[in-house]
Amino acid sequence: MMMRAVSINNMVSKTILIALVLLLILADSRIMAEPTAASKTAAVFTADMQQALDGAERVLLKAQPFPDEAAVGFFKNGRSLPEGYLEQTADIILEQHGKFAKVADLTRIALAYSAAGGNINNIAGTDLYPLLMNHDGMDTEGAAAAADAYITSNNSISYSYERTNRYPDLIFYQLLDMQLADGSWATAGQSAGDPAVTARVLTALAPVAGSEQAEEPVQKALQWLKDKQQPNGGFDGKTTITAEVIVGLSSLGLDAAAFAREGGASLLDHLLAAQLPGGGFSQQPGGSSDISATADAYLALTSYKLLSKHAGLLYDGLHHAGIQRATIQVEGPGGTLAGGRIPGGDAVKAAAAFLQSKGLAYKLSADTAKPAFTAIEGIQNGRYIGEGEWKIAVFSGGSSWLYPENISSRLTVNDGDQLLVYYADDTELPDRMEVKWKDKNGQENGGYANANTPFTIHITRSNNQLGGLPAFGVTVTLQGKSVVADSTGKVSFAGMKPGVYPVTVTKYRKDAAPVIVKRTFALHVSSPELASFKDANQVAAWARGDIAGALSSGYIQGVSASGNVLAPKQKLTRAEFLTLLMRLVHEFPDSKTAASGFKDVPAGKWYSGTVAKAVELGIIAPSASGKFEPDRGITREEAAVMVAKAAQLPTYGSAERMKFTDVNGLPAVSREAIQAMNEHEVMTGSGGRFEPKQVLVREQAAAILMRLQKLVPSALY
């Protein structure tokens, strides 16, 4: 198996997915266990070659537009791309919604975006991997397109739920099947082999060239290329073909300077002969500077340089994870020390930075390979008669816990993960909460609880060896009521009003670390369905699906005493919208939440804790007036800022792409938030206007919430 991109067609759990990825990586390592020629090559990158590389680079930097093909070379050479290139490339992807007419266009833009530092698996929610794997052109554009798709897929890590028609292994075998009897590959619709296409396929196959399946096809292709090479060292007299072959050979670990017919010039001789005094390259001898030839020559020289320095492949290591959004919880032996949000990356480094930001003292072990916390806030390892220690774990993808002792590398935190730092002695972790209830016919249902209907909660726990174990004996607290779970990990509660509520699981013990680490789950209690409200017919047609979804998720409820009036056109206050938003991101006030600091948000109001928590998380900021104005109607501008901060939604494209005529005079923070809303299609405006000062109504808020729910990992669990 050679699959590196991960497509989740039938999602079971991320634990199984991660195990599969590890097995596949191991499989890759076995395939490539045979030493390649790259480790033995005598390739020498000369000063003349470096001058040619630098000259081509200067020409490419002046090109308008900058050629996408060259971006990979700039990345591999550690050079900066033109200012704004990443955002301008994102603009193209966003405008197309990731859908390009040709595979060649999609792979070109995907590789360029990766090289510029973007994550092709998330451009404002667009994942290029499934779009590529489902592209019709994979069957019509020939071997070159399939090769580019294979290269792109190996620089992708996708967690898409979308079903894909292909996967990297399938493309690998497709490429082998497309090889002609003479060892070459042809352009689409042709029966004769093409040197450039053959070289491109060899570049794609390079990472697995030592495998049993690929070894013979690769050798046949190399012999075909040698037979087709002209005495002047090139192919058909074209620089782009020569460059493509150099990239293919270098990727395979072969020295292009030694690739020549007997008595003839080498590939590199032919390439360098095409350079012009100004630094550009001509396509054919005696021609003028050609930007395509220059870009291809630049890539060829870069690939050869990487070979000479044993610095990897040209099209390897392009994937960038992008912005990672995660949460952290620090649990001491007697309670929570801190919690909040962190960027992704190395788990220990992320935790240490968070502790420092909170002013919490800590100590780390001297092991630089796998450092661990030895003390936090004066709580030392061995606190209880030499027992107990600080540990970390990551709840990954809403599915299971990852423990550092179970992996060989450093534990990392990715998008949507929860990092736990906890004091433990045989302490276990709550991993899942399952809600069940019975309908009027006695049929048991799972998922969100139904309004005013008794329900049960099943809690499971895990350790570093087993998961899904019944969490018997733990204390489950909901709305001030605490119940101890039975031997199956089950507790029962009476029916509740619609909403989203925190469920806290604990089991502390005296003079010892907890039996189980404290964890807070989100309980969704659904509102009655839309048809049950007497003013349901007032909901706009475009909003009916969103209103129904928001009711089902417990985000909104009826407004009358009887609960059967929905009031879809009623304006929302700032406090009301913030409350809905905090329900969606599963952020709840707690005993450690400080006062909000707003003089018009006194303690004891229904929204006081929510406002204070939002201030703590940076979702809202202190104002110059010192007021929050909780009862004033919330504008679209204010809602956009709150949503962008609550969901930590970044911008991807250029500000110029946002063509609203009524946002230019707004503060920078508002314009950036509106850009994020527009790119993620949460708030899109209409008729070229965003209407930033318009006050939101309830049905509009429902639409925002349901669009946002697809983008916030925590909202799905």
- What pLDDT score was predicted for residue 22? 37
**In terms of domains, do 585 and 521 share one?**
no
Bridge partner residues of 502 (DSSP):
522
- The C-alpha atoms of residue 79 and residue 74 are separated, in whole angstroms, by 5
Do the beta carbons of residue 5 and residue 158 sit within 8 Å? yes
**In terms of domains, do 421 and 444 share one?**
no
Percentage of the residues of the chain whose pLDDT score is greater than 90:
83
**In terms of domains, do 469 and 614 share one?**
no
Token reading at 660: 């609203």
Do the beta carbons of residue 349 and residue 369 sit within 8 Å? no
Indicate whether 606 pLDDT > 60: yes
pLDDT digits (tens, 9 = 90+) for 613-670: 999 999 998 888 899 999 999 999 999 999 999 999 999 999 999 889 999 999 999 9
- What pLDDT score was predicted for residue 440? 85
pLDDT digits (tens, 9 = 90+) for 672-684: 999 999 999 999 9
Q: Collect all residues with Cβ–Cβ distance below 8 Å to 255 and sequence separation of at least 6.
A: 41, 42, 43, 249, 307
Do the beta carbons of residue 231 and residue 211 sit within 8 Å? no
pLDDT digits (tens, 9 = 90+) for 357-373: 999 999 999 988 889 99
Query: Is 1 a domain residue?
Result: no
Bridge partner residues of 457 (DSSP):
435, 491
Do the beta carbons of residue 47 and residue 31 sit within 8 Å? no
Query: Is 317 a domain residue?
Result: no
- What pLDDT score was predicted for residue 590? 80
Per-residue pLDDT band at 503 (split at 50, 70, 90): very high
- What pLDDT score was predicted for residue 513? 96
Cα three-residue angle 635-636-640, rounded to 5 degrees: 120
Following DSSP, what letter does each residue of 112-164 receive, concatenated? HHHHTT--TT-BTTB-HHHHHHT-GGGGTSHHHHHHHHHHHHTT------S--
Indicate whether 20 pLDDT > 70: no
Q: Is 455 in a helix, a strand, or coil?
A: strand
**In terms of domains, do 414 and 441 share one?**
no
Closest CA to 416 of 392, 430, 393, 396: 396
- What pLDDT score was predicted for residue 455? 97
pLDDT mean over 572-595: 90
- The C-alpha atoms of residue 427 and residue 391 are separated, in whole angstroms, by 10
pLDDT mean over 281-299: 95
**In terms of domains, do 572 and 640 share one?**
yes
Per-residue pLDDT band at 301 (split at 50, 70, 90): very high
- The C-alpha atoms of residue 681 and residue 660 are separated, in whole angstroms, by 14
* Cβ neighbours around 36 below 10 Å, total: 16
Please provide residue 704's backbone torsions phi and psi, each rounded to the nearest 5 degrees. Answer: -60, -45
Percentage of the residues of the chain whose pLDDT score is greater than 70:
93
Please provide residue 457's backbone torsions phi and psi, each rounded to the nearest 5 degrees. Answer: -120, 130
Angle, nearest 10°, between helix axes 291-308 and 47-62? 140
Cα three-residue angle 64-654-417, rounded to 5 degrees: 125
- The C-alpha atoms of residue 11 and residue 22 are separated, in whole angstroms, by 17
- The C-alpha atoms of residue 519 and residue 712 are separated, in whole angstroms, by 19
pLDDT mean over 245-259: 96
- What pLDDT score was predicted for residue 679? 96
**In terms of domains, do 410 and 444 share one?**
no
Measure Cα distances from 219 to 56, 173, 207, 223 in Å: 32, 16, 15, 6
- What pLDDT score was predicted for residue 344? 87
CA torsion, ordered 217, 222, 225, 227, to nearest 10 deg: -100
- The C-alpha atoms of residue 268 and residue 300 are separated, in whole angstroms, by 9
Query: Is 81 a domain residue?
Result: yes
Indicate the average pLDDT of the chain: 91
- The C-alpha atoms of residue 449 and residue 527 are separated, in whole angstroms, by 9
- What pLDDT score was predicted for residue 16? 38
Closest CA to 49 of 243, 192, 198: 243
Q: Collect all residues with Cβ–Cβ distance below 8 Å to 317 and sequence separation of at least 6.
A: 155
* Bond before 65 cis per omega within 30 degrees: yes
Q: Is 97 left (phi over 0), alpha (psi -120 to 50) or beta?
A: left
Weakest mean pLDDT among 35-39, 130-134, 145-149, 312-316? 35-39
pLDDT digits (tens, 9 = 90+) for 107-124: 999 999 999 999 999 999
Q: Collect all residues with Cβ–Cβ distance below 8 Å to 287 and sequence separation of at least 6.
A: none
pLDDT mean over 211-218: 96
HSE-up of 286 (CA within 13 Å, CB side)? Answer: 1
Number of H helices, E strands in the chain: 20, 20
pLDDT digits (tens, 9 = 90+) for 158-169: 878 789 999 999
CATH number assigned to the domain comprising residue 198: 1.50.10.10
Please provide residue 219's backbone torsions phi and psi, each rounded to the nearest 5 degrees. Answer: -65, -40
**In terms of domains, do 419 and 496 share one?**
no
- The C-alpha atoms of residue 115 and residue 499 are separated, in whole angstroms, by 44
Measure Cα distances from 427 to 157, 223, 332, 430, 437 in Å: 33, 62, 12, 10, 30
Q: Is 406 in a helix, a strand, or coil?
A: helix
pLDDT mean over 438-460: 93
Record the pTM: 0.85
CATH number assigned to the domain comprising residue 349: 2.170.130.30
Per-residue pLDDT band at 41 (split at 50, 70, 90): low
- The C-alpha atoms of residue 225 and residue 360 are separated, in whole angstroms, by 64
Per-residue pLDDT band at 715 (split at 50, 70, 90): low
Per-residue pLDDT band at 324 (split at 50, 70, 90): confident
Query: Is 392 a domain residue?
Result: yes
Query: Is 575 a domain residue?
Result: yes
Kindly give the residue spans of alpha helices, DSSP state H, lying in 510-623.
544-553, 574-584, 608-617
- What pLDDT score was predicted for residue 55? 98
Query: Which residue in the block uniquely carries the two structure tokens 């049950």?
Result: 532
- The C-alpha atoms of residue 88 and residue 109 are separated, in whole angstroms, by 11
Query: Is 5 a domain residue?
Result: no
* Cβ neighbours around 662 below 10 Å, total: 15
CATH number assigned to the domain comprising residue 439: 2.60.40
Domain extent, residue 358, equals: 323-425
**In terms of domains, do 510 and 563 share one?**
no
- Number of domains present in the structure of the chain: 4
pLDDT digits (tens, 9 = 90+) for 380-411: 999 999 999 999 999 987 678 999 999 988 99
Query: Is 313 a domain residue?
Result: no
Domain closes at, from 400, 425, 450 = 425
Domain closes at, from 499, 526, 553 = 526
Indicate whether 451 pLDDT > 80: yes
**In terms of domains, do 623 and 609 share one?**
yes
In the chain, the amino acid numbered 72 is V
Do the beta carbons of residue 611 and residue 628 sit within 8 Å? yes
Indicate whether 307 pLDDT > 60: yes
Query: Is 315 a domain residue?
Result: no
Indicate whether 21 pLDDT > 80: no
**In terms of domains, do 178 and 249 share one?**
yes
Please provide residue 306's backbone torsions phi and psi, each rounded to the nearest 5 degrees. Answer: -60, -40
Per-residue pLDDT band at 560 (split at 50, 70, 90): confident
pLDDT mean over 138-157: 96
Please provide residue 111's backbone torsions phi and psi, each rounded to the nearest 5 degrees. Answer: -65, -40
**In terms of domains, do 244 and 332 share one?**
no
Q: How many residues does the chain have?
A: 717
- What pLDDT score was predicted for residue 415? 84
Domain closes at, from 425, 460, 487 = 425
* Cβ neighbours around 107 below 10 Å, total: 26
- The C-alpha atoms of residue 342 and residue 409 are separated, in whole angstroms, by 21
- The C-alpha atoms of residue 19 and residue 467 are separated, in whole angstroms, by 14
Measure Cα distances from 240 to 167, 221, 235, 267, 315 in Å: 29, 18, 9, 12, 17
**In terms of domains, do 166 and 248 share one?**
yes
From edge to edge, which strands make up the β-sheet containing 449-450? 449-450, 516-526, 499-507, 475-478, 481-484
Q: Is 299 in a helix, a strand, or coil?
A: helix
